Amino acid sequence: MEKRAHKNEVDMCNGPLLSKIILFAIPVVLSGVLQLFFNAADVVVVGRFAGKEALAAVGSTSSLINLLVNLFIGLSVGTNVLVARFYGAGKEKDVSDTVHTSICLALISGVILIFVGLLFTRPLLVLMGSPEDVLPLSAVYLKIYFFGMPAMMVYNFGAAILRAVGDTKRPMIYLTLSGILNVVLNLIFVIPLRLSVVGVALATTISQFLSAGLVVAALLREEGMCRLELKKLKLSANKVGMILRVGLPAGLQGCIFSISNVLIQSSVNSFNSTVMAGNTAGSSIEGFVYVSMNAFHQTSVSIVSQNFGAKKIKRIKKTAIYCLIMVTIVGLVVGNGAYLLADPLLRLYTKGDPALVKEVVRYGTLRMSFICTTYCLCGIMDTLVGIIRGLGYSVMPMIVSLLGACAFRILWIYTVFRQMHTLEVLYISYPISWALTATVHFICLMIVWRKVKQKMEEV
């Protein structure tokens, strides 16, 4: 069946490519930035109005949250790849089956994560070495946060469906609305009501339900292949299997990175709460650089998958080249720009005793000097993964990431860092692991490309 592009859908298989990549990526960048406001608003408000212990409590949970949710978020990558591939091939029924199966998986994943969060967050925080003055606040924040998991999953799966057919504007709009709500609720809950970390967790959870409701409403109104009909909600065994084959390795890869980040957070925790606060603030700023680059990972997945389904090999190659060039430029410009503005940016996250503020800023700047200046390596690494995954290979990048990110960083922490217990030695493990992993991913892409090209030319 020949596909028809509807109002909000973009056909990436025909017409000018570079302009479509840019138009696709810009809303994804803005969506990522807005999503970061969920946590950044939490960190800024709690840091300025609830003290450094509350700031450390909220910030130190990010790596643990990523560890617990990335496996399920990864499944949405499977949804993105499949919907884009079937859309590119014009297979309307397969698109519809994938949409309904994906929303079911989102709801099931969200419910599972509620119980995981309630049962395991405190033991994991203890295992991470969270200080006694931070642990109770971190545990409360996480337990409330995880009640919003069904909404988070539904939004991510729903947004993956829309992005697969080129619709990146509506997810951006929905996150804008939920981001505004999150900031407003943060200010109300923390300042006049003095709810501290409880307030920021409630604000984040409520805003997540808003974004999920909006994306579901959009799918219910959809006129194209991606229309959601509640009576058709069910798990298709065939589509579950296909989503898992692509999404499960992606999720495991996310968990692998998160495990290494949890170990690094545990290493940061071995210093003191002032170091933790500086590390938290620096990490929050870096997040904005990361989502600017990660947009090209998401763009490469969707566009490569569409053209893979349509068997348009030249457009796949052009997409890969354009995305790699653009992610390098964005990483260099935005990453180094953030580092140059580190002092005023970091001061947004804390106030109080000038000596304490100076120390928090110093530790945050130290982190950013190692990570922001070399962040383009991470962007290149992720975009290479997106291209490979869009071509239908998901296990290979997972294995490479297991060795290049997790195994290397674990080895670094228990050897080099143990011998030289400094923040500089800890932070430099990031760019080294990115460079090594990106190099191996590039070699893998060359191998995959030859196989895919040969198969397409034989058809």
Q: What is the pLDDT of residue 458?
A: 65
Quick check: 1 pLDDT over 50?
A: no
Q: What angle do CA 48, 183, 50 make, to 5 degrees?
A: 25
Nearest-angstrom CA–CA distance, 50 and 62: 18
**Which of helix, strand or coil describes residue 15?**
coil
Q: What is the pLDDT of residue 459?
A: 56
- Quickly state the pLDDT bin for 41 (edges 50, 70, 90): low
Q: What is the pLDDT of residue 64?
A: 73
Q: What is the pLDDT of residue 443?
A: 95
- Quickly state the pLDDT bin for 296 (edges 50, 70, 90): very high
Q: What angle do CA 158, 159, 162 make, to 5 degrees?
A: 90
Cα radius of gyration (the chain):
21
Q: What is the pLDDT of residue 346?
A: 86
**Which of helix, strand or coil describes residue 126?**
helix
User: Has this prediction a pTM greater than 0.85?
Assistant: no
Report pLDDT digits (tens) over 93-111. 999 999 999 999 999 999 9
Q: Which whole number is the average pLDDT over 422-436?
A: 89
Torsion of CA 116, 66, 75, 255, to 10 degrees: -90
Domain boundaries, the chain: 18-454
Q: What is the pLDDT of residue 110?
A: 94
**Which of helix, strand or coil describes residue 131?**
coil
Quick check: 388 pLDDT over 90?
A: yes
Tell me which of 290 and 271 has the higher pLDDT.
290
Mean pLDDT computed over every residue of the chain: 86
Nearest-angstrom CA–CA distance, 357 and 278: 9
What does the longest C-alpha to C-alpha distance in the chain come to? 70
Taking CA atoms, 221 is separated from 7, 152, 214, 228, 229, in Å, by 12, 20, 11, 8, 9
Q: What share of the chain is helix, strand, coil (3-state, %, to 5)?
A: 85, 0, 15
Q: What is the pLDDT of residue 35?
A: 73
CB-CB neighbours of 127 under 10 Å: 12
**Which of helix, strand or coil describes residue 225?**
coil
Q: What is the pLDDT of residue 40?
A: 65
Q: 286-300 burial string, b = 16+ CB within 10 Å, else e?
A: bbbbbbbbbbbbbbb
Highest-confidence segment of 62-66, 136-140, 159-163: 159-163
Report pLDDT digits (tens) over 229-270. 999 999 999 999 999 998 888 888 777 777 777 777 777 777
Taking CA atoms, 9 is separated from 84, 164, 166, in Å, by 11, 9, 5
